[in-house]
Structure 1
Amino acid sequence: MNGQTYFTAAELAEIAKTGGLMNFPHTKQGVNALAAREGWNALPSSRKRGGTKGGGGMEYHFQVLPEALQALIAGLQIKAGLIARHDLEAERDRRQLAAIRTSALSAEARAAMDARAEILLSIDGYAISQGKTRAWAIAQFLDALTAFVTRQVVEQRRDAGEILTDREATSLTVPLLLTSQDGFHLDPARIAKANDRSAAPVIKRSALYEWFKARDERGVIALAPAATKEVQPIPAAFADFLKFYARPSKPTIADAHGEYLKAAAAVDVLQRMPLTLSQVKYILRERMNNIEKQVGREGLLTLRSRLAYVTRTTDDMWPTTIYTADGKTFDAEVADPVTKRPIRPEITTVLDVVTRKVVGISLARSENQRSVAEALRNACVASGIPAIFYVDRGPGYRNQALDADVSGLMGRLGITKMHAAPYGSQAKGRIERPNATIWDTLAKRFTTYIGADMDKEAGQKVHKITRRELKEFGESRHLPTWEEFVRLAWAMVEEYNNKIHTSLPKFEDPQSGKTRHMTPNEAWAAHVAAGFEPVPVDQAEVDDLFRPYEIRTASRSEVQWNGNKFFHEALEAYHQKKVMVGYDYHQADRVWVREFDRDSGQPGRLICVARFGGNSERYVPLSFEHAAIENRAKGRLRRLDAKREAIEAERDGLLQIEFEGTEVADFIETAPTPEPAEVALVINNASEAPPAVRRRVFASDADLAVWALANPHEVSARQLEVLRDCMARSNARELFRLSGVDTEALRTLLRAAA
């Protein structure tokens, strides 16, 4: 009615009736009669009603109507305008509320809502394009969906190699109504998404009608899947269960739940009801993440490996800014350079953090201050002195030789040492990964590899062969020599430094013209080309700079170190004064004596090189390395003595067990012991005695070895056994060498006899 100016007789009658206007007809016939009496039909403002449905009736202009009716219509029009504006505002508010609700939906629910809206819009569009009803379009959609599912089954059979019927083969050439542009033009993935809880592209007829009804009544927001029920808090009783589950021994859920029920049964029955096994499994599976469920079962270090981490960048750094180092026990056995016994060397690797280049290594028996110092020495001499030395908290990096203010390597070289945070091994990944890349790869190239990837049967076979050869010959040809190991280790470092590293920048390869990542050597060369210059070590000071120094007091031209006294005339002027004594790990016959600079705490001017002159304890100088080896040997012998004493005590205890004799029961018949018969010895002096065989006697094992090499075909099994026993002992082998026995030829003889 809002803005309407012409009215029919029926509309005027309805308006008068609804408004309660008593002086105006309330029926169509009455209004027509009034219009005939008043002559409204002949007025220019009146007009025939248009359209066939109007029946040719008259429409009367607002101005010809009585004033009372005009006032009533004007009031109704104002009211209709207010209602329309109210409805418009209500619709706007409803849309805003729907937008808020939509934004509050989860991504999964919003995707399902959009997919359902797309399907309903496609069905309505297909119905309009075909001039049919919605119900007809729904039926067509369901048929198209069934045809699509059938097509999928046929295609799967075809891909599996099955033979199709003619009808099935023909059906594959027919366009699908569900996906074609002339049909519903829908992606099957959208249908699967609309199912929300099912991944299959199938929708029921009832679901479609429910979606249409919900959309028409409440808008698109009503198509969103119903929210699941509110998540309930975890029961307080679950904390009691965790007391038995959150343990480092990692008990199973069933075992921890059983212990929890036993503890709950001992509590008053009025306490909270215990959780069932199903409830406990559900909470662990659905309500707790992988970190929460492992608290108490794993240590802090393991838990940190599951947490977020910060990536550190070195884009604005020069090489030698940071060196990092770490030690690794080699996963293969090599021959000890002295004893020839199998050992697993300890390798210390120094890496430049910026370029990922391995700048130095050391090969030793354990990760100690000497191996760390040697690796740092190699790195500084070859590539330059670093500003920061970033290492872990192992014993090789926390000692006086490195940290002392007076004589420590860090202070003398001006290097700042940084230790990795406790439980922060992830921060040292840049050195841990090369350790695995270089040394694990090299270890697997040896037949004596004993890592986790080694086949158990093959490893046991190699172990038996090497131990048998060590027992028989004192060494094994299957063990790589120390010299071979050192050569291959440095070759492996060079191979790593020339290998492409994905964490380094990319550049255009000048040979292939393709873009690839740099190698560590190429990254180092790129920095040099950009103006980088390392801080070098003066070649004239290389040895002394890395030589450890200790403070000693000179006395009567002598200084003492490692139990040895060293003499030089120049020390006479420094009697009872503090000096700094530098020593070499391998040269025990001399020490380097320097003045003690009290201002800097560092070694000063070189006074002299003092020589070993006299020692009340030893007549042969005892080097640092030999002293350590001797102390270790003494310790091993003490442990062997203690073990032998324990074995003998156990044996003596068994021999002291008393044995009580028992009498034979009187019901057992015992046979008398037969008397031995006399044997007559008949000597026939007429017969000739067989010639006596003389056994060859040797004055020493060395004489036996010399004779065996000269007469290999006459050596008996017992003599071979004696020689194998000698070759298995280091002192016997040394005696053979001093006696002029060719031990290599003897080993060859013993191997051939075996």
Structure 2
Amino acid sequence: MRTTNNLLSAADLASMNLACLPATRQAVEHRAKKQGWPVEWQDGIGRGGKKRMYPLTGLPPEIQTAIREKQAAEILSRADQLPVAVVGNPPAAKPKKLGVALRREAQLMIPLDDLMKGYTQKQKDCAHARMALASAVLHIHRVAGLALKPAIALLIERIETGTADAVLVAAVPLANARSGGKAKLSARSLMGWVQDYKHGQTPAERLALLAPKTTKQETPIMAYGWLPHFAKVHCIPSAPSLSESYRVFAAAWQREQRPEQLPTLRQVTRVWGKLPMIMQERGRKTGAAYKAILPYVKRDWDALNPNDVWIGDGHSFKAKVAHPLHGRPFKPEVTVLIDGCSRMVMGFSVSLAESCVAVADGLRIGIKHFGVPLMYYSDNGAGQTGKTIDHEITGLTARLGIHHETGLPGNPQGRGIIERWWQDNLIALARQYETFVGAGMDSSTQSLIYRKMESAFNALDKGKALTDEQQRYLQKLPSWSRFIADVAACIDAYNARPHSELPKKADGSRYTPAEYRDKRLADGGITPDYLSQQELDMLFMPQEIRKVQRGWIDLFTNQYFSEDLAQYHKDEVRVAYDLDDAQTVVVYDLDGKFLTKAKLNGNKRSAFPLSRRDQLAEQRAQGRIKRSEQAIALAKAELNPALEQAAALDELFGAQWRQASGSDVLMSRPLVARDDDIVLFKTDLEEE
């Protein structure tokens, strides 16, 4: 249909196939002449070279309406080309016609952006659907020339008959904001959306005006007066269940408050579920467990260079292996040091328990192969902060020039790199052993394995031959040498495995820790600070400060002597000792100047000299013996204490104080020895 300035030819009118117009050009011209339609002449083929054109506004009203509806139908058939959120240049909104919602928020001084952040996705989807329908009505109104009400009626008719575009049909259930998703649309609602759309000046304002408002007001959490009282009994470290806490809370509430205001368990459960987890767990979890659910600051380790910071930590291996001395099952200690820049494991050591010796050994291995780090970062456990490591003069880190930094107590997140490493590597290795004792191990299988192993070791202690079953279960216990080899292989595999936290290479794969360390050293032109073999031998000898007494030095119950120490009588010196050789010690002054080597020349407490490792082993054994003796004494104390007390009274006063029948019940006769003024019962004092 071609129109020029709203001028239509007879052929155009006939081609519309309107019910109110004839279907041929001649019939249309006949009716126009009969009814006196206004005519305008344009250049073209016709009488005198002119073409007869009829102005749209001069046609009868019923024909004008039919033509505009026809044009609107054509527009609706191209609804996918309509702009959804913004159509043309909407008229400027007047402040007095601003929507009620926006006026209320403006009075509350709430920014529009903050207001929109509070909308749910359902509210936003509803607002967008309403904006699409309103923009379609306004487009019909402007292009087809229909008034708003006829344009709305036409759109609704097309939607109900299914002739409108699928985009507009699908927008109706969303725009209704009903849970049932009904596709019924009223003219009154659509008119309201059109008016709100016209009042908004920006897409954000239109969304705020057209978004449905929540009909149910949420009760603020602080409005529940009983909540602090319930939290007092529920948020405790023992972490009781909600129902257990409610019983305690209800009993206290009925005693101290109004019973009719007691909330039900269902109300408490519903309100408690609305609280964020950090509020639910506060008091129920403390320390590292609570910090694990709090926001944290992520450390940027990429800013470091290799050997800038080594992170060290020691953990008990999560599986039992054969003890290197007696062969029984135990959990060894593994100490690991990781480079913060490259994530590469620099050194490790295994020991019978956490100690400074294990940490020093791990540092020695790492420094021997990869150089001296600038900083060593660890927790503040006894093995990491003993004087052997941390002393400002004789400590290992002080003599090597390494700054030792410790994390906050109860904050393992600060060393997240190495904490995660245990889970992904050594704990995964421990799971490969049948003697695994970590989380997730089947308790029945674990109990069976250790019961059978204990039976086998008891048989060996008694010199009995092992059964086939005992031998089979004894073979499940990994040997000490196999354990060390498996740990070393696990670390080698980790260093050669692509790491998800490291950058990507040109081919898209991740660097391995070993590759990334070599790359960073090469890119930065960094040469690690290696130590000579003599420096390794001397610097890793632990040191202690001792006072010279007439040429003698006491160290760990051993006594060392050198004539060169005579001039240092009563002076404090630094004594370096070998962990495995107790025959000699190296003596320095407090400034680190070499003085002499002192030799072992007697031991008042031991028949043979004891190395430091032997002394630590003896101390550990004595501690285990003492703890076992305490457990035995406690078990004996629980064996019928009343009978033991009665026996003690027999020994003190004789059998005449007991009944002839042998009963353990004392006679009612007061046990008072008048000659010695010994009084056993308070009633005897009152009788006197």
Normalized against structure 1, the TM-score is what? Answer: 0.63
| Cα 1:652–1:566 shift into 2, 3 Å | same
1:14-59 per-position Cα deviation (integer Å, ceiling 9, x unaligned):
xxxxxxxxxxxxxxxxxxxxxxxxxxxxxxxxxxxx95779xxxxx
Task: Give the conservation status (yes or no) of the 8 Å contact 2:393–2:590.
Answer: no
1:670-694 per-position Cα deviation (integer Å, ceiling 9, x unaligned):
xxxxxxxxxxxxxxxxxxxxxxxxx
CA distance in 2, matches of 1:477, 1:51: 108
Residue 167 (structure 2) pairs with residue 185 (structure 1): yes
Which deviates more from structure 2 when the two are superposed, residues 449-458 or residues 428-437? 449-458
| Cα 1:504–1:564 shift into 2, 3 Å | same
Paired letter, 2:323 = D
| Cα 1:561–1:258 shift into 2, 3 Å | closer
Match of 2:233 in 1: 244
The aligned runs of 1:45-84 (5 Å cut-off) are: 51=58
CA distance in 2, matches of 1:368, 1:340: 21
122, 126, 147: which one pairs with 1:112? 126
Deviation at 1:523, TM superposition (A): 0.8
| Cα 1:647–1:117 shift into 2, 3 Å | closer
Deviation at 1:341, TM superposition (A): 1.2
Paired letter, 2:182 = I
CA distance in 2, matches of 1:651, 1:275: 49
Residue 350 (structure 2) pairs with residue 369 (structure 1): no
Deviation at 1:349, TM superposition (A): 0.8
Match of 1:445 in 2: 432
Match of 1:743 in 2: none
Paired letter, 1:203 = K
Task: Give the conservation status (yes or no) of the 8 Å contact 2:310–2:373.
Answer: yes
Paired letter, 1:618 = S
CA distance in 1, matches of 2:331, 2:520: 37
Match of 2:175 in 1: 194
Residue 518 (structure 2) pairs with residue 525 (structure 1): yes
Residue 622 (structure 2) pairs with residue 634 (structure 1): yes
Residue 521 (structure 2) pairs with residue 515 (structure 1): no
The aligned runs of 1:501-650 (5 Å cut-off) are: 501-508=499-506, 514-530=507-523, 531-572=525-566, 574-597=568-591, 603-608=592-597, 610-641=598-629, 643-644=631-632, 650=639
Match of 1:472 in 2: 459
Deviation at 1:428, TM superposition (A): 0.9
Match of 1:331 in 2: 318
| Cα 1:236–1:462 shift into 2, 3 Å | closer
1:382-439 per-position Cα deviation (integer Å, ceiling 9, x unaligned):
2222222111121112222222222112211222221212342211110101122221
Match of 1:697 in 2: none
CA distance in 2, matches of 1:187, 1:319: 63
368, 381, 384: which one pairs with 1:397? 384
Task: Give the conservation status (yes or no) of the 8 Å contact 1:351–1:359.
Answer: yes
Which deviates more from structure 2 when the two are superposed, residues 515-524 or residues 216-225? 216-225
Paired letter, 1:539 = Q
CA distance in 2, matches of 1:579, 1:294: 53
CA distance in 1, matches of 2:632, 2:247: 48
The aligned runs of 1:7-86 (5 Å cut-off) are: 51=58
CA distance in 2, matches of 1:498, 1:90: 67
Match of 2:159 in 1: 141
Match of 1:422 in 2: 409
| Cα 1:224–1:211 shift into 2, 3 Å | farther
Task: Give the conservation status (yes or no) of the 8 Å contact 1:214–1:223.
Answer: no
Paired residue secondary structure (1:560): strand
Deviation at 1:547, TM superposition (A): 0.9
Match of 1:675 in 2: none
Match of 1:264 in 2: 253
CA distance in 1, matches of 2:193, 2:301: 57
Deviation at 1:360, TM superposition (A): 0.8
The aligned runs of 1:297-316 (5 Å cut-off) are: 297-316=284-303
| Cα 1:422–1:593 shift into 2, 3 Å | closer
1:76-113 per-position Cα deviation (integer Å, ceiling 9, x unaligned):
xxxxxxxxxxxx87747646988887754444334321
Match of 1:496 in 2: 494
Paired residue secondary structure (1:397): helix
Task: Give the conservation status (yes or no) of the 8 Å contact 2:152–2:187.
Answer: no
CA distance in 1, matches of 2:194, 2:133: 14
Deviation at 1:376, TM superposition (A): 1.7
Which deviates more from structure 2 when the two are superposed, residues 345-354 or residues 464-473? 464-473
| Cα 1:299–1:208 shift into 2, 3 Å | farther
Task: Give the conservation status (yes or no) of the 8 Å contact 1:123–1:138.
Answer: no
CA distance in 1, matches of 2:252, 2:636: 50
Paired residue secondary structure (2:273): helix
Task: Give the conservation status (yes or no) of the 8 Å contact 1:211–1:223.
Answer: no
Paired residue secondary structure (2:501): coil
The aligned runs of 1:349-360 (5 Å cut-off) are: 349-360=336-347
| Cα 1:283–1:523 shift into 2, 3 Å | same
Match of 1:203 in 2: 182
Task: Give the conservation status (yes or no) of the 8 Å contact 2:172–2:183.
Answer: no
1:637-675 per-position Cα deviation (integer Å, ceiling 9, x unaligned):
44545555666673897698999599xxxxxxxxxxxxx
Task: Give the conservation status (yes or no) of the 8 Å contact 1:124–1:137.
Answer: no
Paired residue secondary structure (1:446): coil
214, 220, 225: which one pairs with 2:192? 214
1:155-196 per-position Cα deviation (integer Å, ceiling 9, x unaligned):
xxxxxxxxxxxxxxxxxxxxxx67xxxx333595x5664354
CA distance in 1, matches of 2:662, 2:595: 85
Task: Give the conservation status (yes or no) of the 8 Å contact 1:336–1:342.
Answer: yes
Match of 2:484 in 1: 486
Paired residue secondary structure (2:518): helix
Count of residues in Structure 1 that have an aligned counterpart in Structure 2: 527
Paired letter, 2:546 = R
CA distance in 1, matches of 2:320, 2:430: 9
255, 262, 280: which one pairs with 1:293? 280
CA distance in 2, matches of 1:445, 1:52: 93
Normalized against structure 2, the TM-score is what? Answer: 0.68
Which deviates more from structure 2 when the two are superposed, residues 543-552 or residues 323-332? 543-552
The aligned runs of 1:658-669 (5 Å cut-off) are: none
Paired letter, 2:126 = A
CA distance in 1, matches of 2:630, 2:302: 59
Which deviates more from structure 2 when the two are superposed, residues 288-297 or residues 114-123? 114-123
Deviation at 1:442, TM superposition (A): 1.6
Paired residue secondary structure (1:327): strand
